[in-house]
Amino acid sequence: MTLEETKKLLMAIDATYPTFKTENPMVTAETWHWALEEHPAEAIMAALKIYINTNNTGFAPSPSQLIGAMQSVRHSEELTEGEAWTMVKKAIGDSGYHAQERFDELPEIVQKAVGSPSTLRGWGMCDSEDVNTVIMSNFQRAYKAELSRKEFVESVPAALSDVIKGLAEKVSPRIEENE
């Protein structure tokens, strides 16, 4: 998103929310641009339209609320916890001799929530009541956490993600040396 596109976004917000006033419009535009520059203008404008049509607080959105609205549309195609569990339960049913194959057939995010083919095999050896209660609950919690993690990772701008990775690489050798 360019600075000019950001200014158009702010004009749309100003026109929609009369209480949205800033002390210094240029600083506001530059700050919003800084926060949104890695996102496509079309997606952010669509997110604003979603926000306008769904939020009834009367308050203008923040950059993070627009990013959240944009991501909610992107993630609306993700499996629900129940849909993911149905896939896993089917895989469990044939995991005795084919755990690897059934695991490989699962979507990547479901694989992360399951953990490994051996987990599927282990669940297949459990009592069906445990599978339908405890294991299902634990899987759904893990799946929900994976969805949240994925959403968070996607919301972090690539440049910031690179900075964080660089810092982590600088710290990692020190930690390993101290162990």
86-112 pLDDT, tens digit each: 999 999 998 989 999 999 999 999 999
User: How far is Cα 52 from Cα 66, in angstroms, rounded to an integer?
Assistant: 10
Q: Which is higher by pLDDT, 93 or 167?
A: 93
**Do 69 and 112 share a domain, yes or no?**
no
**Do 62 and 96 share a domain, yes or no?**
no
**Do 62 and 100 share a domain, yes or no?**
no
Cα of 65 vs its chain's centroid, Å: 13
Residue 164, domain member (yes or no) = no
Report the b/e string of 153-164 with b at 16+ CB within 10 A. eeeeeeeeeeee
Q: 131: domain range?
A: 81-154
pTM comes to 0.59
User: How far is Cα 16 from Cα 176, in angstroms, rounded to an integer?
Assistant: 54
The total domain count for the chain is 2
As to burial, measured by CB atoms within 10 angstroms (0-12 exposed, 13-18 middle, 19+ buried), residue 85 is buried
